[in-house]
Amino acid sequence: MHKEENGEIDPDFINRLAGFLGFEEERVRHLFEKKYLARNWGKHEHMLRFDKEISHIEHGTVLYEKGSSFEIIMGFPKIRRAMVLDPTLKKHFNGLSKLAIEEKMNGYNVRVAQVDGEILAITRSGYICPYTTERANVKLNLEFFDAFPELVLYGEMVGPDNPYVPKTIYDIESVEFFIFDIREKNTGKPLPTAKRRELMEKYGFFQVRSFGEIPLETAPEEIAGIIRELGKNEHEGVVIKDPEMVLPSLKYTSSQSNCSDLRHAFKFYNEAGRDYMLSRIVREGFQTVEWNEDETEFKERCIQLGESILTPLRESIRNVKDGERLYEEVRIRVRDLKTVTEFENYLKRLGVDTIFETPQLAGNEYLVNIKKVNKSTNDKTQAIWEGELW
């Protein structure tokens, strides 16, 4: 009913959508024109996604028709960063007595929800990822969604078979979903942390590690201790939450996580964002001052930083000099070979340049190695080796 014909969107659809969002029709039309409101494709074409934050609606929010109205799955709330723990926590969580501390895992953000009877995995930007959707259906206890069709799981897909952020540091063989938030459809209202943990435990879901509830008063010091421990195993950091989930959460990360980000960024120095690089470097500066490090610790931090930048940079530059192409090697594990084709088309549609290798049987599943080509860094580096000027 609402499909575009000759590029025109059905006026009745616009009218109903405007009514649902509380926007003027003209504004809705404008959002479509600017592609701030865009469609998924293929069998999920009816699912709209906000490609930009609009009014109170988060970027990545997904919206689709349900009955005579619409249903919304709100995007990931942006979790802002504490650059220093003191006084930031006391200022931000002013009035609370306790804070819930949970691990921030290094994986791929995904929402899982039941839509029209199907379990779908929705990415941070509001795409329906076919691979993540297959994994969610294989890995998760689907009974939960029948019991709570109105709830959306917000979690992290973690492990080596994650084609976006593959990590081996969590001792996971393939991939698992670690839930860190549950929110209601439409309202986006979150469950309090204790309630969420209880519910997830009941259904046997993996959850991000909890460091319990900590008094606000001692939180900066205690979190610094947790961060140091997490850093030793290259773990990323923590998310600091109001246990009632009324105030927005904050994040704080380990030096090792900053350096790990930098290693990745400088491997592909010509595609990584300049601000991304700088922010990770500046965090190192604040952490060493806040933690009052002595000259030995500081020197160690300088070495870590320098090596995190220069080692991957040297490797990429050398590889190109030696005639190799720069790529990132990732892997997926699927039950159904159709998922491989769907995922390949999906990445192509998103503009990711990949080479899919032949699937290998592994038990009742298939492993597929994927090379993600980093064309920009590759071409730039090669041009320099051929004598091009900066």
Q: Residue 233 CB, nearest distance to a copy of itself (Å)?
A: 22
Of the pair 361, 389, the CB lying nearest a copy of itself is at 389
Residue 383 and residue 377: Cα distance in Å, rounded?
10
- Count, residues in the chain: 390
Tokens of 85: 């723990």
Residue 386 binding a copy of itself, by CB under 8 A:
yes
Residue 147 binding a copy of itself, by CB under 8 A:
no
Of the pair 51, 58, the CB lying nearest a copy of itself is at 58
Contacts (CB under 8 A) with a copy of itself, residues 317-376: 317-318, 321
Other CB atoms within 10 Å distance of the CB of residue 381: 21
β-pair partners for 213: 100
Of the pair 79, 172, the CB lying nearest a copy of itself is at 79
Read off the DSSP letter of residue 112.
E
HEC assignment per residue over 313-326: HHHHHHHHHCCCCC
Read off the DSSP letter of residue 192.
P
Residue 189 binding a copy of itself, by CB under 8 A:
no
Binding test (CB under 8 A) with a copy of itself, winner from 16, 44, 49, 92: 92
Pairing of strands 206-207, 176-184: parallel
Of the pair 239, 250, the CB lying nearest a copy of itself is at 250
Task: For residue 165, give every residue at least 6 positions away whose Cβ sits within 8 Å of its Cβ, in sequence order, or none.
Answer: 106, 107, 108
Q: Residue 127 CB, nearest distance to a copy of itself (Å)?
A: 27
Q: Residue 62 CB, nearest distance to a copy of itself (Å)?
A: 27
Contacts (CB under 8 A) with a copy of itself, residues 251-310: 266, 269, 274-275, 277-279, 281-282, 284-286, 288-289, 298-299, 301-307, 309-310
C-beta separation of 67 from 4 below 8 A: no
Of the pair 13, 291, the CB lying nearest a copy of itself is at 291
C-beta separation of 259 from 120 below 8 A: no
Q: Residue 270 CB, nearest distance to a copy of itself (Å)?
A: 8
Of the pair 41, 276, the CB lying nearest a copy of itself is at 276
C-beta separation of 330 from 166 below 8 A: yes
Of the pair 88, 106, the CB lying nearest a copy of itself is at 88
Give me the sign of the Cα torsion angle 281, 282, 283, 285: positive
Binding test (CB under 8 A) with a copy of itself, winner from 30, 314, 348, 349: 314
Q: Which helix (H) or strand (E) holds 212?
A: strand 210-215
Q: Locate tokens 């091009």: which residue? A: 388
Binding footprint of a copy of itself, residue count (CB under 8 A): 50
Residue 136 binding a copy of itself, by CB under 8 A:
no
Cα 307 vs. chain centroid, distance in angstroms?
26
Characterize 176-197 residue by residue with b for buried, 16 or more Cβ atoms within 10 angstroms of its Cβ, and e for exposed. bbbbbbbbbbbebebbbbeebb
Q: Residue 285 CB, nearest distance to a copy of itself (Å)?
A: 4
Binding test (CB under 8 A) with a copy of itself, winner from 54, 83, 169, 224: 83
Residue 279 and residue 261: Cα distance in Å, rounded?
11
3-state class of 171 per DSSP?
coil
Binding test (CB under 8 A) with a copy of itself, winner from 313, 330, 347, 370: 313
Q: Residue 295 CB, nearest distance to a copy of itself (Å)?
A: 11
Q: Residue 342 CB, nearest distance to a copy of itself (Å)?
A: 37
Residue 80 binding a copy of itself, by CB under 8 A:
yes
Interaction site with a copy of itself (CB under 8 A): 80-84, 87-88, 90-92, 250, 266, 269, 274-275, 277-279, 281-282, 284-286, 288-289, 298-299, 301-307, 309-311, 313-314, 316-318, 321, 384-390
